[in-house]
Amino acid sequence: MFGLHILIMKKTGNANLKKTKRKLLAWEVEEPSYIIVTPEAQVFTGLIQGYPNFSHNWDEAKPLEGQAKFETLKRYSKIDLEQMFI
């Protein structure tokens, strides 16, 4: 259910006018943030020249959102990765 857009139509304008304008309001539901952890307790810190970089310093962990990002990193990494939601 995350990442869905909620659209609401809202009437604007004067009630006495024959034509009323409708305003489209959109809210995006935020996805939960997570960090990626290796079995050696290293965290994902970003990409360096297109390759995933991991560090033992947890303060450098890069929080991510979106399941597709995790699935892509997991698919192209030779290391077994896990998500930790924050």
Q: What percent of the chain has pLDDT over 90?
A: 53
| Parent domain of 26 | 5-85
pLDDT of residue 79: 87
Q: What percent of the chain has pLDDT over 70?
A: 66
Q: Count up the domains in the chain and report the number.
A: 1
Question: Please, what is the average pLDDT of the chain?
Answer: 80
Give phi and psi for 69, each to the nearest 5. Answer: -65, -45
pLDDT in tens, 20-54: 556 666 666 678 999 999 999 999 999 999 899 99
- For the record, the structure tokens of 85 come out as 């939601």
| Residue written as token pair 């290391």 | 79
